[in-house]
Amino acid sequence: MSRIGRMPVIVPMGVAVEITGNQVTVKGPKGVITKSFHPEMSITLAEGQVRVTRPSDEGFHRSLHGLTRSLLANMVQGVTKGFQKDLEIGGVGYRAQLSGGKLVLALGYSHPVEIASPSGISFAVEGQNRVSVMGIDKELVGEVAAKIRQVRPPEPYKGKGIHYVGERLRHKAGKAGKVGAKK
């Protein structure tokens, strides 16, 4: 059996889980998340724990087993604590600011780049070069953070651009110059 799939998801106090067929709704202090899962996975709620069982030992079912349990655990964590991705902007003149519900980025282009926050996602800006993406859906938080990073990914020579906090950037050496060249 899957090591991750067979572990139960513990439901903390203040969180309600409703299972109807293959659709699971999790309600908590931060909000509500509803997801549909594969119909062959059996999801049960008993004694404050959500358990996932699979019908057979086929490779397809084994892969779905751990995935389903991980998604359920992320739903429970999202409605209790939430998720956050931090991005850092590096470069002279590069900065971020909030304007209404939009994130406005000045990244060396001829115009500022505006990114609207989808429902369930909020932005926070610390100083001028740090952006936090927060929400209850882990998948959506990661997707929005990746789209922000994609606007100006870090370049390998000086490291200018947007990168995740803690991300190791690969730096390249520049040109060696004209040492020893013919005159």
pLDDT in tens, 68-88: 999 999 999 999 999 999 999
pLDDT-based confidence at 118, cuts 50/70/90? very high
For 133-180, how does the pLDDT look when each residue is reduced to its tens digit (9 = 90+)? 999 999 999 999 999 999 999 999 888 999 999 999 888 887 775 555
The pLDDT value recorded for residue 170 is 86
Q: DSSP for 90-121?
A: ESTT-EEEEETTEEEEE-SSSS-EEEEPPTTE
Predicted structure pTM score: 0.87
Distance CA 178, CA 42 (A): 68
Beta strands in the chain (DSSP E): 9-10, 16-20, 23-28, 31-36, 42-46, 49-53, 83-90, 95-99, 102-106, 113-116, 121-126, 130-135, 161-164
Distance CA 132, CA 84 (A): 7
Q: Are strands 102-106 and 130-135 parallel, antiparallel or unpaired?
A: unpaired
Q: How far is CA 109 from CA 73, 122, 161, in A?
A: 41, 24, 12
In this structure, the dihedral spanned by the alpha carbons of residues 83, 144, 115 and 78, taken in order and rounded to 10 degrees, is -30
Q: For the chain, how many residues are written?
A: 183
pLDDT-based confidence at 183, cuts 50/70/90? low
For 3-57, how does the pLDDT look when each residue is reduced to its tens digit (9 = 90+)? 888 899 999 999 999 999 889 999 999 999 999 999 999 999 999 999 999 999 9
